[in-house]
Amino acid sequence: MINALLIVVHLLVSLTLVLFVLLHAGRGGGLSDMFGGAAGGSSAGSTVVEKNLDRLTVMASLVFAFTTILLSIRLT
């Protein structure tokens, strides 16, 4: 039961992490250009949305690492 729950959480977190990474800015403006922010280009600095996206990405990656470790311990 616990293993199934961990697998479901791990799967959801991994898909969320992929989404967050794809939303980050590459060479272009990324999320800010997509939604009309940062009209000044890259010289405008990080917007609040980008900072929050960074925080969410870090939190998702920590949960992903934690569930990976838990799954490796429980399934061996």
pLDDT in tens, the chain (76 residues): 889 999 999 999 999 999 999 988 766 656 656 665 555 555 555 789 889 999 999 999 999 999 999 999 998 8
- Spatial neighbors of 21 by CB under 8 A, at least 6 apart, are 57
Both tokens of 41, joined, read 């280009």
The pLDDT score that the predictor gives to residue 25 is 72
Domain ranges of the chain: 1-24+47-76
Q: Which residues contact 48 (CB under 8 A, 6 or more apart)?
A: none
**Any idea how long the chain is?**
76
Nearest CA among 52, 43, 46, 42 for reference residue 20: 52
pTM of the model: 0.74
